Amino acid sequence: MSTTTGESPFRIMPAVTDRNRHFWTGGKDGELRFQRCKGCGYFLHPPAVICPKCWSKDIGIEAVSGRAEVLTFSVNVQNWMPGLEPPFVLAIVGLPEQDDLRLTTNIVNCDPYEVTIGMPVQVIFEPHPDQEVWLPLFEPVTKP
Amino acid sequence: MSEATDLIGERRAVVSGAGQSDIGRRLFRDPLELTLDACLAAIEDAGLTTADIDGLSTYPGAFGPGGFSGGGMVDVHDGLRFENIQWFCGGVEFPGQLGAVINAALAVSAGLCKHVLVWRSVWEGSAQGTGGRAAVMPGGGGSGSFKASGFMEWVLPFSAPSAATWIAMFAQRHFHEYGTTREQLGQIAVNSRKNAGLNPKAIYSEPMSMDDYLSARMISTPLCLFDCDVPCDGATAFIVSRADTVADLRKPPINIEAVATALHGRPSWDQYHDLTSMPAQDAGKELWKRTDLKPTDVDVANMYDGFSFITVAWIEGMGFCKKGEAGAFLEGGHNIARDSGVLPLNTNGGQLSAGRLHGFGFLHESCVQLWGEAGERQVPNTPEVGVACAGGGPMAGTLLLTHRR
Ligand SMILES: [Zn+2]
């Protein structure tokens, strides 16, 4: 997995806490990481403190493949805030590791108007090291 | 109906009065003045005085930046100097904005009080000034110190501060799965504008054609400018009374036949299991278990349109058509026409054209229609059964109302 090139745009940063640090910093090592229940194997996202499937508190951190599928998207045209230059793509992507494991993200490194539902994508990280955040974005899969 | 009648407590509550302040795109008036204007108008409409009011209920309380609240519990309680309050509740984590009305119905039904003043007040128009919506977005000033937490943690870092972009993704998925088109979605905005033309308090009343809609600038595909409601200043208030107080009231009240407040999936904009709908479908499904009435009995429907696609979720969720068939239902606009449709929809112009009164405008309009007080925009053959639905994303609340003659 790789990182975006060039200067990272202005972004409002997440408040990094002990509960979510694995998610926002995994990109430093090129990994998309989630909490995973050691009792039943369920991935938890957004991060939680107890497994909602088996109530285990024995929760580990695990890297996933970084592959995903676009479940839905929107080409955002309106300029709401400084940072990303419109038009840009907001998407909800689903991860193959678990049916209900998904996140909101941006699809980058392609023409915004060529994004489609069902498109296979892979994670790419946008570094904001001074903020302790590596944003997981997604780009079209270029190689099998 | 699957509930025993004695468990349908909301039937012991009625809407006995409704009031509205002046409404405008930007009034630049003290928002508390608008709030209290609406409250006093509702009390008068019910034929009561402030001494009769023994309950207070509001959404979202004094919470929120950017003109989101024009007056919370303390402001109104002290502002009108009530001396006999037995119960009150104001807050934001409700099943939609109309959750405040439903709370009031449950309070009178439980015998905690007899006449509850319920209000919702906004001044988002003036708060934005000339800066548009971006002026009131978190971090909109470019500040680097603000950090996103809660749900915003999962969208703000991706430059998506507005519900417009979140809702747009639901619309896109609906288009993809069911073949819904922009022309079909656009009927909601065009229909609302037509109705707004007959509403003297509407923000936008000049005619709008389907061509105007289709050529409007895109906000976040597939939603264009006219799929987004218009921020405004204004307040709406109701009196919710115990049904056995009818002799004290100025006019026959609106009966609450049933309410619903369900949220069956994950309570989140992006983690909810069904990306073509919203918890509107959960509330809608539960509503019809609490009544013998059917969707086909509804004479007028006022349903949330903060973004037009939310109305689609309500149309399907309330069972006015089957899941995935809202596009066909909206085709041509005939079904939702105020004067001739099977489901006269958003008859005051909705939030798209009459202003973002944030949920309460829908109940106000359904009550006014049932009372036969809607003037030029009155639905023909004075309707007897109405619905008011509010909330988008992971919050939904609905009321089924009757007024038999
Ligand atoms: Zn587990």
B221–A77 CB contact, under 8 Å: yes
Element housing A35 (H / E): strand A33-37
* Chain B residues inside the 8 Å CB shell of A23: none
B162–A135 CB contact, under 8 Å: no
Quote the minimal CA–CA distance from B347 to chain A in Å.
29
- pLDDT (mean) for A76-105: 96
What ipTM, to 2 d.p.? 0.97
Give the closest of B147, B155, B159 to A84, CB-based. Answer: B159
pLDDT for position B70: 96
* Chain B residues inside the 8 Å CB shell of A76: 159-160, 165, 168, 219-221
pLDDT for position B133: 63
CATH number of B9-129+161-402, picked from 3.40.50.720, 3.30.230.10, 3.40.47.10, 3.40.50.2030: 3.40.47.10
Instruction: Report pLDDT digits (tens) over B98-152.
Output: 999 999 999 999 999 999 999 999 999 999 886 666 555 554 444 457 899 999 9
pLDDT for position A1: 66
* Chain A residues inside the 8 Å CB shell of B149: 14-15
A121: closest CA among A135, A109, A133? Answer: A109
CA of B277 to the centre of ligand 1 (A): 28
- Structural domain boundaries in chain B: 9-129+161-402
pLDDT for position A144: 57
pLDDT for position A28: 98
B296: closest CA among B339, B343, B237? Answer: B343
pLDDT for position B140: 43
B142–A81 CB contact, under 8 Å: yes
Q: Is A110 part of the contact surface with chain B (CB cutoff 8 Å)?
A: no
CB B161 within 8 A of CB A81: yes
Q: In which band, very low, low, confident or very high, does the pLDDT at B5 lie, cut at 50, 70 and 90?
A: confident
CB B337 within 8 A of CB B192: no
- pLDDT (mean) for A94-110: 98
Residue B297 has, within 13 A of its CA and on its CB side, a CA count of: 14
CB B204 within 8 A of CB B356: no
Residue B210 burial by Cβ neighbours in a 10 Å radius (0-12, 13-18, 19+): middle
Cα B179 from chain centre? 27
Give the closest of A104, A117, A135 to B160, CB-based. Answer: A104
Backbone angles phi, psi at A69, to 5 degrees: -130, 140
Q: What share of chain B is helix, strand, coil (3-state, %, to 5)?
A: 40, 15, 45
- pLDDT (mean) for A43-66: 98
Instruction: Report pLDDT digits (tens) over B179-235.
Output: 999 999 999 999 999 999 999 999 999 999 999 999 999 999 999 999 999 999 999
CB B352 within 8 A of CB B203: no
Q: In which band, very low, low, confident or very high, does the pLDDT at B405 lie, cut at 50, 70 and 90?
A: confident
pLDDT for position A142: 81
**How far, in Å, CA of B288 to CA of B82, rounded?**
37
| CA distances from residue B222 to B172, B183, B267, B270, B353 in whole angstroms, order as listed | 6, 11, 24, 17, 19
pLDDT for B75 beyond 90: yes
**How far, in Å, CA of A91 to CA of A106, rounded?**
6
A78–B154 CB contact, under 8 Å: no
CA of A43 to the centre of ligand 1 (A): 8
pLDDT for position B129: 82
Q: B-contacting residues of A 57-86, CB under 8 Å?
A: 71-84
pLDDT for position B84: 97
Element housing B215 (H / E): helix B210-215
Instruction: Report pLDDT digits (tens) over B366-393.
Output: 999 999 999 999 999 999 999 999 999 9
**Mean pLDDT in chain B?**
95
**How far, in Å, CA of B306 to CA of B356, rounded?**
7
To test the contact with chain A by mutation, choose from B165, B217, B228 the residue with the greatest count of A C-beta atoms within 10 A, namely B165
The one-letter amino acid at B326: A
- Structural domain boundaries in chain A: 16-140
A14–B153 CB contact, under 8 Å: yes
- pLDDT (mean) for B244-261: 97
Percent over 70 (pLDDT), chain B: 96
pLDDT for position B209: 98
Locate B399 and state its tokens.
């009321």
A101: closest CA among A52, A139, A29, A49? Answer: A52
**How far, in Å, CA of B153 to CA of B148, rounded?**
5
Locate B263 and state its tokens.
């949220």
CA of A58 to the centre of ligand 1 (A): 8
Query: Quick check: helix, strand or coil at residue B40?
Result: helix
pLDDT for position B310: 98
